[in-house]
Chain A
């Protein structure tokens, strides 16, 4: 089996790990609670 500790895999592992972190942060931001989508407009 491969290990991230293998010298040749350290850089790709770091890149993939960084990408996963970035995706996780982006998902947290996008799906975090925000302003209410529902706002009842009574003008009509």
Chain B
């Protein structure tokens, strides 16, 4: 069929017409010439070609993946989005010639404890030779469902080893410890439903669109990156490459409140007890204390048939199906919780029950389980869940386990 251009009324037919060059093809007054708004199929085909080019220009270049300020936000309301973006960049925009690529899946526990800048030197010390590339894909607040969604992208880095770093509380599926959240919504791809089916049909359509169309998959990140380049947030500050003192980490986390937090931390070190530790936490991290208490109130003992058990099973099945070697790491637990006889901050027996579920599932898929729950003393902990970045020394036993797994 003739396209819109062919159906235009020519100037020759209307010698008095004063039409300007019509690019948009809209029907309207243009010097007395009324145009047909219907673009030709060729125009649409060309538009699709341009769209594919634009897609590539955005999603395969520094337009999307270049340094941004928003990814270094210290605004706790935005940090999950920022870290999901960083994980996506590591998966989609990092190339490594290293023969050993280690992908770390987890949440804030591993994000803080095994920063690339802490872990890679330890790996180099234990296994001299070609550099090992570490991809820390941890995201604050990520549940097992989020990790399962991140694992759908792991083929991008062709990992030599996947370390799934989980804590016993990750087997909860409660408001205080949800199975999935923002990372799963931002990174969901795949044709088939995962272990946590979409709540609405539109979510499935969204996942399919993200699967086939990179620009749509990353449209939230693209928007943030473009906004970032126009209006840079003030005072971005990257997480330190190395942490030399508690004062440094408190300064990063608590800003002006750091001195008070440091003082409280010193007080608990002088009188080591669970009560003193909670007093220290209440100075700068009262939200964490409340979250832990809520988690205890909501907890039910985990099982293989629970939603968390099914998600973990699906995650491990994907790792196995892709032929990736994997280590399931039970993250360190704060020994101070042994003194929580009132059960205010932990549920007696929960950790052991969770470990049993995780051990059974790891064995089902022939993966190594490393139980790191007792790796570290209380003074290595930042709070009830997290170890002190670098200062804890967590990177040393982790590096040893990685080297052992790579050589096995």
Contact = CB atoms under 8 A, between A and B. Distances in A.
Contacts of A10: 5
Chain A CB count within 10 A is highest, among B17, B50, B253, for: B50
Nearest to B8: A5
Nearest to A40: B77
Interface string A1-39: 111111001100111111111110110011110111111
Contacts of A17: 23-25, 39, 43, 47
A22 to B, nearest CB: 3
Given A3-B8, A14-B42, A29-B215, A22 B21 contact: no
Nearest to A42: B291
Contacts of A18: 39, 43-44, 46-47, 49-50
B140 interface: yes
Interface in B12-45: 17-25, 31, 33, 39-40, 42-44
B47 A22 contact: yes
A43 B385 contact: yes
A13 B5 contact: yes
Range of interface residues on B (Cβ < 8 Å): 35 or more
B364 interface: no
Contact of B220 (A25, A34, A40, A44): A34
Indicate the size class of the contact surface on chain A: 35 or more
B392 interface: no
A6 B54 contact: no
Nearest to B107: A43
Contacts of A9: 21
A31 B108 CA distance: 29
Contacts of A26: 51, 54-55, 58, 215
User: Most A CB atoms within 10 A — which of B5, B76, B253, B383?
Assistant: B5
Contact of A5 (B9, B182, B385): B9
B22 A44 contact: no
Contact of B222 (A5, A22, A30): A30
A1 B17 CA distance: 9
Contact of A39 (B176, B182, B288): B182
B76 A40 contact: yes
B88 interface: no
Contacts of A37: 78, 81, 220, 224
A36 B215 CA distance: 17
Contacts of A13: 5, 21-23
A40 B76 CA distance: 6
A41 B140 contact: yes
B219 A30 contact: yes
Contacts of A20: 23-24
Contacts of A19: 47, 50
Contacts of A32: 219
Given A4-B21, A25-B51, A41-B76, A34 B40 contact: no
Interface of B: 3, 5, 8-11, 17-25, 31, 33, 39-40, 42-44, 46-51, 53-55, 58, 76-81, 107-108, 140-141, 176, 181-182, 185-186, 215-216, 219-220, 222-224, 226, 253, 285, 287-288, 290-291, 383, 385-386
Interface of A: 1-6, 9-10, 13-23, 25-26, 29-32, 34-44
**Which 8 A-B pairs give the minimum distances between C-beta atoms?**
A22-B50, A18-B46, A5-B8, A21-B47, A34-B220, A18-B47, A35-B185, A22-B51
Given A29-B216, A34-B219, A41-B141, 16 more contacts: A1-B18, A1-B19, A1-B20, A3-B10, A4-B22, A13-B21, A14-B3, A14-B5, A17-B25, A23-B54, A25-B47, A26-B58, A26-B215, A31-B223, A40-B77, A44-B288
